[in-house]
C-alpha cells in the first residue's frame, strides 16, 4: 500500500500547515484493522469551502414562490509543493473505492488559536493536475454526509485539540474548532 507522505520534520523545516488523512469505512468508522494518521504532502496553498445555494421554486405564473435549500457541498483543494512517485502512485492507486477521514490545520482562528477541522468521511479524487515544470500539483478532497455521529478515536500527533472535541453530528460533514494551546 502506498501513502502520500511528508514527514512532520520536513513540514517544520519548509514551513506550511499540517494536514493528515486515514482510511475509514463508508460510514466514517475505523477499519477492522484501524489505519493510522498519515501526514499529507507539504502544501503551498489550500482552498476550503462549503456551500448550499438556495434553489428557487417557480410558480406557474413565472413568479418565484419560495426558495428551498439546494445541494450541500464541502471540498478542499490542496496545492502541493511535492511532486514525486509517492504522491502520484497514492492518488492513482489508493483513492479508488476508498474513504478517508481528514484532519486539517486551517491556520489561526479569530482568537489567534489554531483552527482545526475534522472531516469524518470523504473521498480523495483520483485526479492530480500540474502544469509543465511547476511541480505544484493540485489534488481535491470532497466531504460526504455521514449517516451517524462520528468521533475520532485519535488525532494526529501534532493536533492541538482532543479527539473527543471533534464529534461530527449525524448528516454533517465536518466540525471546526479553535483550541487554546495553553489549555
Is residue 162, in this structure, part of any structural domain at all?
A: yes
Higher pLDDT, 71 or 125: 125
Alpha-carbon distance of 73 to 120, in angstroms, equals: 14
For 147-158, write each residue's pLDDT tens digit: 899 999 999 998
128 and 112 Cβ atoms separated by less than 8 Å: no
Is residue 36, in this structure, part of any structural domain at all?
A: yes
Query: Nearest-CA neighbor of 141 among 21, 43, 30?
Result: 21
99 and 123 Cβ atoms separated by less than 8 Å: yes
Is residue 46, in this structure, part of any structural domain at all?
A: yes
Is residue 63, in this structure, part of any structural domain at all?
A: no
Is residue 173, in this structure, part of any structural domain at all?
A: yes
Is residue 172, in this structure, part of any structural domain at all?
A: yes
pLDDT for the residue numbered 7: 45
- What pTM was estimated for this model as a whole? 0.80
- What's the residue count for the chain? 183
Average of per-residue pLDDT across 102-110: 84
Is residue 152, in this structure, part of any structural domain at all?
A: yes
Is residue 183, in this structure, part of any structural domain at all?
A: no
In total, how many domains does the chain have? 1
pLDDT for the residue numbered 56: 85
Which domain range does residue 90 map to?
8-54+70-178
pLDDT for the residue numbered 5: 53
Amino acid at each position: 500500500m502506498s501513502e502520500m507522505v511528508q514527514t512532520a520534520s520536513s513540514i517544520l523545516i519548509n514551513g506550511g500547515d499540517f494536514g493528515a488523512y486515514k482510511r475509514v469505512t463508508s460510514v466514517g468508522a475505523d477499519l477492522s484493522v484501524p489505519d493510522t494518521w498519515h501526514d499529507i504532502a507539504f502544501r503551498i496553498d489550500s482552498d476550503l469551502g462549503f456551500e448550499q445555494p438556495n434553489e428557487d421554486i417557480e410558480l406557474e405564473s413565472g413568479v418565484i414562490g419560495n426558495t428551498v435549500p439546494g445541494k450541500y457541498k464541502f471540498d478542499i483543494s490542496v496545492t502541493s509543493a511535492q511532486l514525486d512517485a509517492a504522491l502520484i502512485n497514492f492518488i492513482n492507486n489508493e483513492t479508488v473505492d476508498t474513504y478517508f477521514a481528514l484532519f486539517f490545520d486551517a491556520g489561526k482562528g479569530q482568537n489567534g488559536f489554531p483552527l482545526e477541522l475534522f472531516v469524518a468521511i470523504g473521498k480523495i479524487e483520483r485526479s492530480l493536475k500540474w502544469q509543465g515544470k511547476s511541480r505544484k500539483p493540485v489534488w481535491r478532497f470532497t466531504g460526504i454526509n455521514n449517516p451517524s455521529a462520528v468521533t475520532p478515536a485519535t488525532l494526529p500527533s501534532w493536533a492541538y485539540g482532543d479527539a473527543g472535541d471533534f464529534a461530527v453530528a449525524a448528516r454533517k460533514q465536518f466540525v471546526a474548532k479553535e483550541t487554546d494551546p495553553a489549555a
